[in-house]
Every structure is written in structure tokens, then in C-alpha cells.
């Protein structure tokens, strides 16, 4: 008899055989047939680019698939087989039509992409209160970032405190992550929790584990992921890690509440906590766990910012003539105005360098991802059905029909645009447009982009004035595409050394 050598994902080898317990397999088969049938009935009538692509192939070849789709179906929608099933890929020419549609929503896309509906993945649940919290509180607290960057207690052991004047190795993906995390932690967590080693340990363990679990679950059809989540060891570890985070956070929140009640009972003013932990308590639904909110905020704030900082430092190292130009701009502008929002706005070359780095390597191949929350028919007659994944890729950000010398890094590209009436709206790092979707576009463009831009500029000012750096010989690797993610290659390392700064940023006046 011929045997079938099936390779099962790790953790599923212990499932009972069909002969032992046929009912679970029968139910699964019926569910799969139902989902397949329904998808076929409701699927938009579009050409399919890659009907036979497996999840693994999509994860490894996604960038090539989008480029192939653009060539095969120029300026028209098509279907792509992905790890989420089929996705409708729209051309960027349709972005202005769909960017503000209420029928297309970003948050269900995040939840669907990261399994936020499953136990252990709750930080990825749809979070409609998040933008309100960011706009009402976080964006208004930008000046605090400057204080936390120069506070030694918040940056001990970070690259900003390394005293060595000889060339030594720096690992951007690791060292910058620690730097951004320390800078953000004081603002997000407050004085008490940002120094809590139990929280740092638990939240780091969860972040490390959950992204592994997300990738493993993507190997399964969506209908099977709840079952896999119950059985896979990595998913069990994820649930345990999240519980540990909640266990650390719970007494901190309870203690704050007790202090408020005690003050109120005595007729005294309640203590004021001006941090994201408090803001989330005010803005978020009561049933949202505070630990989940903090983890979610950290993941969306720290990892993209770290990746963008890394890519910007790499591009500056590839174009060493920028060191002198950027340092001259920083010392001139900040030397007059100090560290305040208007001064950072006038760092036009630095702004352009970051934005151009982002154009060539955004954090995602598709920075416009939505799920249809109700049926909608577009102007070309295309009917999107409730539940459809709708994507617009960013391949046009590298298209010479859109940008002059699109494949070339031009540090002054957006400085030059500031002087033109037509394109002034797209010249700034925080501006979004169909041509540059680094922060997305439309009604659900990244609300934290003002915070991220401010933080990146502050950190780069410190790095540029205090350090020289260059790419380690033989370690200049291109960015990596994995699924929809585009990340700076973690194997790229820099050589860095301390220098005498022309301007002591730690002594400058900090304004709003």
C-alpha cells in the first residue's frame, strides 16, 4: 500500500486519527466546504493573479506578486490569493474614491490579520477609541519626548550614552528598538511602571511570542485557526505571556484607583497621572484590559518607528555627504529656536531624508488595508461584499511614471516639493497622498504619525550631533519582504563612534 508522507505544522501531530474520533474531522470538512462555496458565490468577478499560490509562497514572494499583478493588470483591480484567502487589490488610481468610504474599515483588517478575535491575541482587537486617545492626548504631549530623551534615567545603556570614541559595532534593529522603547515608555506607562522590571520582562516576552504565533497561525486556513490556537504550544505560550502582563498591570491600576478614592474621601484633589495608561482608562471601553491597551500602543509605536529610524540611518550612511549638511541644519535651526515643534518643522532636509527613506522602504507593501464591513459598489461597477479584504499596494512609490528617478535615493526630493504649489501638500513627512502612502492615506491614515515624526527627528538630532556611523563592511543588506511587511534587514550592522557635538542638545530650552 502506498503511504502518504504528510508534514503537519508543529503542534498538530498529536491530533486523534480519523478512525478514533471522526466527528471533529467531519465538522471541519463541512466548514471548509461551506466557506469555499460561499466565497465562490460572493467573490467579486475579477481575474485571479495567483490561484495556486500557497501561504508559504505568498509570505516569501509577496513583493514579486504585487509587481507581477501591476504588470499583468495595469490600472485595474484583480484578486490575489493570500494568507487571508482572497484579497481584492485595487490600483492606486482608485485610492481617492475609496479612502474615506465608511463601508471599508481598517480596524477589522488589523484584527483579522493578527487573529485579534482569538484568546491570547486580544491586544490586536479592533480599537476604535485609539485614534481619539492619540489625537486628544498623545499628539498634545510631543514636547515631553524631548525631556525623556535627555533624561539619563530613561536612556541608561542606550546608544545615546555610549562614551566610546573608537569605532565599534551597533546593531540598529536591536539597539534602536531599546532606545525607542525607553523614550516611549515614560510617556506611555508613567513614572512607576516604566521602571517596573516585571512589566518590562512580561511585555517583552509577550511581544516576542505573539509575533511568532501570528506567523504560525497564518499557515492555517482562517476557519481552522481557532482550533490551532487551542492546540499549538506557541499559542499556549502566548496566552500565558499575556496573562503575565495582565497580572503585573492589575495592581498598578488598582493602586491608582485607590489613591483617587482616598483623596476624594478626604476632600482633597485627586492625583493626576499624565500618561497613556491614564488616557486609555479615560478613552477606552471599560471592558478593554489596560495591559492589552499598553501592549497594543507599544507595538504600533515602537516597532514601526524603530524600523524607520534604522532605514534612515542606513541611507545616511550610504550617502555620507549628508552628515555635514544635516548637522549644519540642526545646529542652525535648533541653536536659534531651541527644541520646540516649530523648530523641528523647519528641519526641512532631515524631514525630507526620513520621508525619502520611507518612500523607498515603507513598513508594508500594502499601507492601505481594509475589510468591507458592508456591501458597496464602486464607480466602475465593482461590487465589494461584506468581509472582503481590500488592499492597495505601494509599488507605485517606486514607479518612474510617478516619481522622477524613482529607484534613486534623493535626499532633497521633498525639500524641492515644498517650493511648488501643486505638490506642497505632499512634501512633509506627516502628509499623506496617493503618491506616498508611508503613513497610509484617507480617513484612517496613521493617527500617530505626528508623534512618530517628532520622536524620530529628536532622536536623529541627538544621533547626528553625537555620533559618526558607517555600514559595517560586508553587512549592507537590502530590506526584507515577508508577507505584507517590509523590514530593514536585521543582519545589517553599523560601526559607530562618539564625536564632540557642535551643539549640546541637552542644554537647550524645550518648548511646545
Q: Would you say residue 9 has pLDDT above 50?
A: no
- Rg over CA atoms, the chain: 24
Q: How far is CA 290 from the centre of its chain?
A: 20
* DSSP-assigned states of every residue in 22-51: HHHHHHHHHHHHHHHHHHHHHS-S--BS-T
> Lowest-confidence range among 27-31, 63-67, 477-481?
27-31
Burial string for 140-168 (b: 16+ CB within 10 Å, else e) reads ebbebbbebbbeeebbeebbbebeeeeee
* Amino acid 37: pLDDT: 45
Q: How many helices and strands, by DSSP H and E, does the chain display? A: 17, 12
The 3 state secondary structure assigned to 129-149 is CHHHHHHHHHHHHHHHHHHHH
Question: Which of the pair, 419 or 206, is modelled with greater confidence?
Answer: 206
* Amino acid 1: pLDDT: 44
* Amino acid 351: pLDDT: 98
As a dihedral over the C-alpha atoms of residue 110, residue 115, residue 117, residue 120, rounded to 10 degrees, the angle is -120
* Amino acid 486: pLDDT: 92
Class of domain 45-507: mainly alpha
Q: Give mean pLDDT, residues 407-430.
A: 89
Could you identify the residue written with the cell 486519527?
A: 17
Query: What letter would DSSP give residue 154?
Result: G
* Amino acid 214: pLDDT: 94
Is 446 annotated as contributing to ligand binding? yes
Cell (9 digits) for 18: 480519523
342 CB-near residues (< 8 Å, 6+ apart): 511
- Write the pLDDT tens digit of every residue in 88-97: 999 999 999 9
pTM recorded for the entire structure = 0.86
- Portion of the chain with pLDDT greater than 70, in percent: 88
Classify residue 499 as left (phi > 0), alpha (psi -120 to 50) or beta: beta
Residue ranges per domain, the chain? 45-507
d(CA 339, CA 342): 8
274 CB-near residues (< 8 Å, 6+ apart): 141
Classify residue 387 as left (phi > 0), alpha (psi -120 to 50) or beta: left
Q: Measuring CA to CA, which residue among 369, 372, 370 is closest to residue 388?
A: 372
> Lowest-confidence range among 174-178, 267-271, 366-370, 377-381?
174-178
Query: What letter would DSSP give residue 329?
Result: H
- Portion of the chain with pLDDT greater than 90, in percent: 59
**H or E element that contains 471:** strand 467-471
Cell (9 digits) for 311: 532605514
Q: How confident is the prediction for the chain on average, in pLDDT?
A: 86
Strands (E), 300-453: 368-372, 376-377, 383-384, 389-392
- Helix then strand then coil, % of the chain, to nearest 5: 55, 10, 35
φ, ψ (nearest 5 deg) of residue 193: -75, -30
Amino acid at each position: 500500500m502506498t503511504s502518504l508522507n504528510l508534514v503537519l505544522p508543529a503542534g498538530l501531530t498529536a491530533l486523534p486519527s480519523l478512525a478514533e474520533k471522526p466527528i471533529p474531522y467531519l465538522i471541519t470538512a463541512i466548514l471548509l466546504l461551506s466557506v469555499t462555496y460561499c466565497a465562490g458565490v460572493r467573490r467579486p468577478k475579477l481575474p485571479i493573479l495567483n490561484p495556486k499560490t500557497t501561504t508559504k509562497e505568498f509570505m516569501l514572494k509577496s513583493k514579486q506578486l504585487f509587481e507581477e499583478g501591476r504588470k499583468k493588470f495595469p490600472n485595474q483591480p484583480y484578486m490575489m490569493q493570500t494568507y487571508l484567502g482572497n484579497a481584492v487589490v485595487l490600483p492606486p488610481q482608485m485610492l481617492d474614491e475609496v479612502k474615506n468610504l465608511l463601508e471599508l474599515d481598517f480596524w477589522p483588517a488589523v484584527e483579522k490579520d493578527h487573529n485579534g478575535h482569538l484568546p491570547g491575541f486580544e491586544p490586536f482587537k479592533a480599537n476604535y477609541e485609539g485614534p481619539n486617545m492619540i489625537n486628544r492626548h498623545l499628539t498634545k504631549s510631543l514636547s515631553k519626548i524631548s525631556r525623556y530623551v535627555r533624561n539619563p534615567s530613561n536612556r541608561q545603556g542606550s546608544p545615546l550614552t555610549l562614551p566610546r570614541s573608537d569605532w565599534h559595532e551597533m546593531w540598529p534593529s536591536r539597539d534602536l528598538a531599546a532606545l525607542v522603547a525607553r523614550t516611549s515608555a515614560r510617556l506611555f506607562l508613567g513614572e512607576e511602571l516604566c521602571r517596573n522590571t516585571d512589566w518590562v520582562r512580561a511585555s517583552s516576552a509577550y511581544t516576542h511570542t505573539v509575533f511568532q504565533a501570528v506567523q504560525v497561525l497564518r499557515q492555517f486556513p482562517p476557519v481552522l485557526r481557532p482550533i490551532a490556537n487551542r492546540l499549538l504550544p506557541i499559542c499556549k505560550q502566548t496566552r500565558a505571556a499575556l496573562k503575565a502582563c495582565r497580572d503585573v498591570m492589575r495592581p498598578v491600576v488598582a493602586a491608582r484607583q485607590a489613591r483617587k478614592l482616598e483623596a476624594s474621601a478626604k476632600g482633597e484633589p485627586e492625583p493626576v497621572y499624565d500618561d497613556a495608561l491614564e488616557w486609555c482608562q479615560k478613552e477606552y471601553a471599560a471592558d478593554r484590559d489596560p495591559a492589552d491597551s499598553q501592549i497594543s500602543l507599544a507595538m504600533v509605536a515602537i516597532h514601526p518607528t524603530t524600523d524607520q529610524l534604522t532605514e534612515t540611518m542606513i541611507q545616511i550612511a550610504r550617502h555620507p555627504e549628508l552628515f555635514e549638511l544635516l548637522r549644519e541644519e540642526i545646529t542652525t535651526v535648533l541653536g536659534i529656536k531651541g527644541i520646540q515643534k516649530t523648530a523641528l518643522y523647519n528641519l526641512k532636509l532631515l524631514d525630507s531624508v526620513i520621508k525619502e527613506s520611507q518612500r523607498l522602504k515603507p513598513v508594508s507593501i500594502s499601507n492601505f488595508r481594509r475589510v468591507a464591513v458592508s456591501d458597496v459598489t464602486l464607480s466602475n461597477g465593482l461590487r465589494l461584499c461584506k468581509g472582503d479584504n481590500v488592499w492597495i499596494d505601494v509599488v507605485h512609490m517606486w514607479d518612474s511614471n510617478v516619481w522622477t528617478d524613482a529607484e534613486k535615493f534623493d535626499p532633497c526630493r521633498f525639500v524641492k516639493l515644498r517650493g511648488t504649489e501643486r505638490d506642497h501638500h505632499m512634501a512633509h513627512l506627516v502628509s499623506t497622498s496617493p503618491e506616498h502612502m508611508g503613513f497610509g492615506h484617507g480617513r484612517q491614515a496613521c493617527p500617530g504619525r505626528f508623534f512618530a515624526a517628532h520622536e524620530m527627528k529628536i532622536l536623529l538630532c541627538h544621533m547626528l550631533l553625537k555620533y559618526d556611523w558607517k555600514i559595517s563592511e560586508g553587512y549592507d543588506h537590502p530590506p526584507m519582504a515577508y508577507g505584507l511587511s517590509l523590514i530593514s534587514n536585521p543582519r545589517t550592522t553599523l560601526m559607530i563612534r562618539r564625536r564632540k557635538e557642535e551643539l549640546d542638545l541637552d542644554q537647550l530650552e524645550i518648548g511646545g
